[in-house]
Structures are given as C-alpha cells and as structure tokens.
Amino acid sequence: MSASNFNMHFVCTLDEARSIVDQHEKYWISNCNCREHRGPCNRSRMDVCLQFYPVTVADGSNKRAATKDEVYAILKEAREKHLVPRPFRNEKDRDRVDGICFCCDDCCGYFLGRWGHGVGNPLETVGWNSPLVLRHKNNTTFGKHR
C-alpha cells in the first residue's frame, strides 16, 4: 500500500488527460455511474468512464475493452461538450491512476454535491499544472480553462 497522500479524485486539463491516456496501452470504457443514477444526461453520452485496468472502483455498467481511437474520440467529445476530466486513483495505491471520468454540470455527483462535497456550491480547483475553473451549471464557463 502506498504511503501517498494524493486525493482519490482530482481534476486535470484535457491535455493532461491525454498524457495520462498515452501512458497506458489497454483501455476499458463503461457507462458513467452518475449518469446512470441521474438519468439521461443533457450534455453528453453515457459511456464516458475510462479505465486503464480490468478491475477498478468504477462501477458503471456495460464495461468493455476499447481501442485507443475510441478513447481519443471521448477526449474529442469532452473538448467539444466541455466535459471535465476527473482522474481517479487506485484505492490501495494512490500513486496509480486507474481511470478518468469525464464529468459535467448536469450529472456529476462530485461537482453537484451529491457525494457530500460542497452541496450546490461552485467548485474551484486546479489541474496538475494549470488552473481550471468549475462553476455552477448556469454559468457557461463550466469546464473551460482559464
């Protein structure tokens, strides 16, 4: 078990997400758990939960192996629809990134406060090397980089 103090979830830029993707050779895609629980998303399709290992904490349905081209298509959609990459780490080894969720202001339980984080309040955080501002869904800057 890692002694790392990294958070389980963090936000990064799309360029940083692509860098994480490029560090892996195998990919799995599943439905987003938040979108499954909330219902149809008004911003994007449902199958945007990317994983780098066959077993992770992500528990969305319809998990399947994916090609790098399919993963790049998700990154393209994330840019077009202003989805926010939210990588997640392995529960036992926080130095290892297990996957990336692509979150939005319509469904994400973490951003909307459904999982106990800032209930209904805007959230501001930073990526690895560059700031990223996340605001309430009524603000058009959600998911855009400063």
**Amino acid in the structure at residue 117:** H
The answer as to whether 140 is a domain residue is: no
Residues contacting 53, CB < 8 A, separation 6+: 26, 28, 90, 98, 99
pTM comes to 0.74
Task: Tell me how many domains the chain contains.
Answer: 1
The answer as to whether 62 is a domain residue is: yes
* Res 111: pLDDT: 63
Residue 65: Cβ-neighbour burial (10 angstroms; 0-12, 13-18, 19+): exposed
> Which of the two residues, 42 and 99, has the higher pLDDT score?
99
The answer as to whether 114 is a domain residue is: no
Q: Are 113 and 120 in contact (CB under 8 A)?
A: yes
Euclidean distance between CA atoms 41 and 104, whole angstroms: 9
The answer as to whether 67 is a domain residue is: yes
The answer as to whether 80 is a domain residue is: yes
* Res 68: pLDDT: 96
Alpha-helix residue ranges (DSSP H) falling in 7-95: 14-22, 33-38, 68-81
The answer as to whether 92 is a domain residue is: yes
Question: Over 50: is that where the pLDDT of 31 sits?
Answer: yes
- List the domain range (segments joined by +) for residue 73: 14-104
Residue positions counted in the chain: 146
